[in-house]
Structure 1
Amino acid sequence: MSFAIPWSELAPFLLIGFAAQLVDSAFGMAFGLVSNALLTFLGFPPSAASATSRTVESFASGISGLSHALQRNIDWPLFGRLVIPGILGGLAGVWFLSVIDTQITRPAMLVYMAAIGVYLIWRAPRRPQTFRRMRFVGPLGAVGGFLDASAGGGWGPVVTGNLLAQGMTPRMAIGTVNAAEFFVAVTVLSAFIGTLGLAAFTIATTGLLVGAIVGAPLGAWLTGRIAPRQLLMGVGAILIAISLYGLISLMFEPLPSFMRL
């Protein structure tokens, strides 16, 4: 029995997954922003696009973390300080989502992310990045994991953005946060798995996952080769774009409100 792969159906999702993971691996965030935007453009309902992106990112973040490890973009002591609080924060966020309306916290988070983005763009040409011991890493991981689950996203923008604002070397911040994200994402997905089930693995999910697996190593490779100032400006621009879209989506109901930033 032969099995024909539906390449014509898979192709758009392969390209979306590749583009989204390339950006996410290179800059430490925005898989959901890119994938949700393109899936919605293809006609996916926002809820279906978000569920698909969350499922794919949970697996693709593992490939991204491994790719950054091979490129030596990870600070392992910092990784250890991030991952456990991130997991605990993610579990707390799942519980919080079931009892509290988180729409009241979302605008504040978006404004905060925009402010970090503006600061990073301002700082990039003025101050060289010098590695020093990061502060408040445990609480930062807990907050990032909590927002990732309860607000539908925020691990990359909040954690990466904050570490860069503190002065961490860009490639190390991006690589470390990407590696820790896998454990947080899998925890959150596992907590939600009862509502997703095997039905989440559609042609779209498969295409996005394969494309993301191809894009992750290339993004990790680019992280170590893009100038630190350019990385800072790129992360700042992405943070501002995420925040503006999120705020606009809150003001105008017809626009899709992304669950996964």
Structure 2
Amino acid sequence: MFEAIDLQGLLPYIAVGLAAQIVDGALGMAFGVISSTLLVSVLGVPPATASAGVHLVECFTTGVSGVSHALHRNVNWKLFFRLLIPGVIGGVAGAYLLTTLDASLTRPFVMSYLALIGVYLLWRGIRFPPRAHKEARIVEPLGLIGGFLDAAGGGGWGPVVTSNLLIQGTQPRTTIGTVNSVEFFLTLSVSITFIFGLGFAAFTEAVVGLLIGGLIAAPFGAVVAKRVPTKALLIMVGAVLTVTSAYSVYRNFA
């Protein structure tokens, strides 16, 4: 699958995997968005190939991250099981669609929506003190849509699911930990679907670098999520979501 891997050439991807996974583990989003943006815009990798490679890496990083969140008691198991099945169904559907159609036309609209969500979370984090947390009412549709957009757009599970659950008033620490834990099963099912649709040729050399960096960083995100105050988490989630989504919109229209 990989021939004559250039170790020096892997260093930029290791750095990207390291940074993206620290952000993803701590805030419940951004690994797929950051990694896919690099592969598509810098290397010119086709969207389906980029998404396939990123999801293969996430099979490993989300597994380690999920275990770490569970050990730090960051997982709401009731929410976990409500997200699991819809997320997997949506992910498989999105992966199948991307292997047959070009989803790039819908991506700017999705990213515009996520940028607005990010601005709202950022504003709420700055203006409002922590309020009483409550259980989310809309969960299963979020899992279905988030899984679909994650596979079809090369990233989006965390931004869609985490941000919308936080808007409903859920506790940031357990929301982030739960969404990260469910993501392992999502990425595994999506990767299997991509293998059937594209074969192992879709997994490029850059995947090795992302994998190394991501695995190094995976255990640390849960520690950050557990120790950072609620208000700071809301501000960071809003800022990361706004910046990454706005950049994706700019890149599509530039």
TM score, norm. by length of structure 2: 0.87
In the alignment, the residues of structure 2 paired with residue 122 and residue 71 of structure 1 have an alpha-carbon distance, to the nearest angstrom, of: 29
In the alignment, the residues of structure 2 paired with residue 153 and residue 181 of structure 1 have an alpha-carbon distance, to the nearest angstrom, of: 11
Q: CA offsets per residue over residues 158-213 of structure 1, 9 Å max, x none?
A: 000001111111111111000001111111111011314167263x3223212211
For residues 104 and 66 of structure 1, do their structure 2 counterparts lie closer, same or farther at Cα, with a shift above 3 Å needed?
same
Q: Which amino acid aligns with 1:33?
A: V
Partner of 1:200: 203
Correspondence 1:131-150 to 2 at 5 A: 131-150=133-152
SS in 1 for 2:134: coil
Unaligned runs of at least 5 residues, structure 1:
253-261
For residues 249 and 186 of structure 1, do their structure 2 counterparts lie closer, same or farther at Cα, with a shift above 3 Å needed?
same
In the alignment, the residues of structure 1 paired with residue 213 and residue 159 of structure 2 have an alpha-carbon distance, to the nearest angstrom, of: 22
Residue 87 of structure 2 is aligned to residue 86 of structure 1: yes
Partner of 1:256: none
Whether the 8 Å CA contact 1:144–1:154 is kept in 2: the answer is yes
For residues 245 and 181 of structure 1, do their structure 2 counterparts lie closer, same or farther at Cα, with a shift above 3 Å needed?
same
SS in 2 for 1:58: helix
SS in 2 for 1:134: coil
In the alignment, the residues of structure 1 paired with residue 172 and residue 188 of structure 2 have an alpha-carbon distance, to the nearest angstrom, of: 25
Correspondence 1:56-75 to 2 at 5 A: 56-75=57-76
In the alignment, the residues of structure 1 paired with residue 207 and residue 251 of structure 2 have an alpha-carbon distance, to the nearest angstrom, of: 24
Give aligned pairs, total: 246
Unaligned runs of at least 5 residues, structure 2:
none
For residues 17 and 150 of structure 1, do their structure 2 counterparts lie closer, same or farther at Cα, with a shift above 3 Å needed?
closer
Whether the 8 Å CA contact 1:19–1:34 is kept in 2: the answer is no
Partner of 1:214: 216
Residue 235 of structure 2 is aligned to residue 241 of structure 1: no
Identity in percent: 48
In the alignment, the residues of structure 2 paired with residue 17 and residue 190 of structure 1 have an alpha-carbon distance, to the nearest angstrom, of: 21
Residue 18 of structure 2 is aligned to residue 15 of structure 1: no
In the alignment, the residues of structure 1 paired with residue 213 and residue 102 of structure 2 have an alpha-carbon distance, to the nearest angstrom, of: 34
SS in 1 for 2:244: helix
Q: CA RMSD in A?
A: 2.4
Partner of 2:44: 45
Residue 124 of structure 2 is aligned to residue 119 of structure 1: no
TM score, norm. by length of structure 1: 0.84
SS in 2 for 1:124: helix
